Amino acid sequence: MSKKINSLKTEVGKDDGLEKIVSLCKRRGFVFSSSEIYKGFSAVYDLGPYGVELANNIKNIWWKNMTQFRDDVVGLDSAIFMSPKVWEASGHVKGFSDPLIECKKCHSRLRLDALLEDYGIMADEKMTEEEINKIFLKNKDKIKCPNCGAQDFSESKNFNLLVKSNLGNFTGDIDKEPVYLRGETCQGIYVNYKNVLDSTRVKIPFGIAQIGKAFRNEITARQFIFRTREFEQMEMQYFVSPDESEKYYEEWKDLRWKFYLDLGIREENLKWHQHENLVFYAKEAYDIEYNFPFGFKELEGIHNRGDYDLTQHSDHSGQDLSYLDPSDNKKFIPYVVETSAGVGRTFLAVLCDAYNEESLEGEDSRIVLKLAPKLAPIKVAVFPLLKNKPELVAKAKEIFDILKKEWRCEFDDNGNIGKRYRRQDEIGTPYCITVDFDSLEKGDVTLRDRDTMKQKRINISNLVSYLKGKIND
Ligand code: GAP
């Protein structure tokens, strides 16, 4: 018997409620701070051995849903570097910024919308500079610098989020001839839209999907991997005729909601947020938000971008990016319905949703990640009951060698069985197999279920087919 004894929410108010997740991620090799031996590097993180498995599982499920299971979406992998003209055309050089203020006493630079939020004043991430400034001036009397307590701030100014680089910049002056690390992956899709159209058999409506790194000079680094300066996006751009954009927008909203349920996230922890103040490219924008320990926050944006992007790139490049409809020979610039999700945020949401602390019989307790089996970094762990009995070790290795052809598995002969279970519970392994002396005689093993902790005997020859039904759902 187990009983839930704690949740992440109890920590809210003290900090961002993520201490337990951060600690588990470090302790068990999911996430490490970047360059930790040099005291870290702000807002950048590395994925450890289990983290990379979890992230790959998220990406593979997304990719399969977007491409393999459909016949109207194709994939792309565009380069991170693009012509700087792309970012001028897209509007990012001028319009992609966050409001920044500086404390005149301690010179801390603060993201104004985040500061307002600390006082319970909601400032939408996608508001204009003017709108946020207005809210700030109205509430100025109660707002203090979080670092020194002063109430003396500079005027708010916009801080551009694009990260500059000096690629091929021989003068050394990156301000004069900047090259940018991409701020969103979808621009690589727009500039290849015509290549895809000309080289494949796609016809409108069709989509292009891409997973890749994006970079933003985020002012405020906090909430662990929720907001980082280097992150991965899973974006799909669906090209449609203008009069059908609303229909497809609703369809994609529905599909994207179901994606998170399919990952095992509890529906009560998801909600929609409609943006009233729209970001410069959008005609309509909704976010799917997840109930993180620090509150409901954006997981994914679903935008009707209209013909903004293709028109901008047509105008700036001089290339005709219109579509000729073969059914009536009419030309139009397609509208784009975009679904834009973050790998890191999905990763954090599934961890928060799966995290459980349970009290067990006696004094014992356990931390268990109740991840959907398809997300679990390790699907099956195989243990010989005793390390010093070569025949048990050999049999367990034999089973491990069979299972590892199907799934990412782990062999562990270290410590007592209870400790080995705890370790696997903490990384979310759905099944553990123990090989004992009966296994040698009867050809069966003990199979232990992570969530119920119930054990049953199962014949070795039935293991793969039994587990296939449980893991590959
Ligand atoms: N192409 C549209 C676009 O990029 P966005 O709302 O700025 O839209 C989409 O970003 C998603 O990318 C977000 O919902 C989030 O999951 C992820 N994301 C954005 N900025 C991020 C950051 N600094 N750190 C981690 N994930 C981020």
The residues that bridge with 33 in the sheet, in sequence order, are 45
| Unique residue bearing structure tokens 């796609």 | 202
| Unique residue bearing structure tokens 């590892």 | 404
Ligand 1 neighbour 309 (Cβ under 6 A): no
Ligand 1 neighbour 33 (Cβ under 6 A): no
pLDDT of 10 reads: 46
Ligand 1 neighbour 345 (Cβ under 6 A): yes
* Residue 300 Cα: closest atom of ligand 1: 14
Q: Whose CA is nearest to atom 9 of ligand 1?
A: 340
AA letter at 9: K
The residues that bridge with 157 in the sheet, in sequence order, are 100
Query: Exposed, middle or buried, 473 (CB in 10 Å: 0-12/13-18/19+)?
Result: exposed
Q: What is the pLDDT of residues 313-350, one digit of tens each?
A: 999 999 999 999 999 999 999 999 999 999 999 999 99
Distance CA 225, CA 264 (A): 20
Query: Dihedral sign, CA of 216, 353, 50, 343?
Result: negative
Distance 234 CA to ligand 1 centre (A): 9
- The two tokens of residue 23 are 């600690």
DSSP string of 112-181, one letter each residue: HHHHHHHTT----TT--HHHHHHHHHHHGGG---TTT----BPPPEEEE-PEEE-TT-TTS-TTTS-EEE
Q: Whose CA is nearest to atom 2 of ligand 1?
A: 340
3-state class (DSSP) for residue 124: coil
Q: Answer whether 156's CB lies under 8 Å from 138's CB.
A: no
Distance 301 CA to ligand 1 centre (A): 7
Q: Whose CA is nearest to atom 22 of ligand 1?
A: 227
Distance CA 136, CA 449 (A): 53
- Please state, as a whole number, how many other Cβ atoms lie within 10 Å of the Cβ of residue 19: 14
Q: Which domains does the chain have, with CATH numbers?
A: 3-87+181-352 (3.30.930.10), 97-160 (3.30.40.230), 378-471 (3.40.50.800)
Q: Answer whether 219's CB lies under 8 Å from 159's CB.
A: yes
Helices (H), 290-342: 308-317
Ligand 1 neighbour 212 (Cβ under 6 A): no
The residues that bridge with 295 in the sheet, in sequence order, are 292
| Unique residue bearing structure tokens 């002396």 | 437
For residue 285, CA distances in Å to 119, 184, 246, 274, 341 come to 26, 16, 12, 6, 13
- The two tokens of residue 356 are 């459980």
- The two tokens of residue 214 are 């994006």
Distance CA 116, CA 101 (A): 11
Of 124, 161, 217, 233, best ligand 1 pocket probe by most atoms within 8 Å of the beta carbon: 233
Distance 362 CA to ligand 1 centre (A): 45
Distance 40 CA to ligand 1 centre (A): 23
Ligand 1 neighbour 342 (Cβ under 6 A): yes
* Residue 185 Cα: closest atom of ligand 1: 1
pLDDT of 473 reads: 65
pLDDT of 123 reads: 67
Distance CA 10, CA 140 (A): 31
Of 340, 343, 348, best ligand 1 pocket probe by most atoms within 8 Å of the beta carbon: 340
pLDDT of 147 reads: 85
Distance, CA of 389 to chain centre = 44
pLDDT of 15 reads: 59
Q: Whose CA is nearest to atom 5 of ligand 1?
A: 301
Q: Whose CA is nearest to atom 21 of ligand 1?
A: 227
Query: Dihedral sign, CA of 397, 399, 401, 406?
Result: negative
Which residues in 344-367 are b (16+ Cβ under 10 Å) and which e?
Answer: bbbbbbbbbbbbbbbeeeeeeebb
Ligand 1 neighbour 185 (Cβ under 6 A): no
Ligand 1 neighbour 289 (Cβ under 6 A): no
Q: Which of 403, 400, 401 is nearest to 383 (CA)?
A: 400
Q: Cis (ω within 30 of 0) for the bond into 205?
A: yes
Ligand 1 neighbour 297 (Cβ under 6 A): no
Distance CA 367, CA 362 (A): 16
Ligand 1 neighbour 210 (Cβ under 6 A): no
Q: Which of 69, 73, 149, 68 is nearest to 105 (CA)?
A: 149
Ligand 1 neighbour 216 (Cβ under 6 A): yes
Q: Which residues of the chain have pLDDT under 70?
A: 1-7, 9-15, 123-127, 169-170, 172, 473
Q: Which of 311, 395, 397, 391 is nearest to 90 (CA)?
A: 311
Distance 421 CA to ligand 1 centre (A): 36
Q: Answer whether 84's CB lies under 8 Å from 180's CB.
A: yes
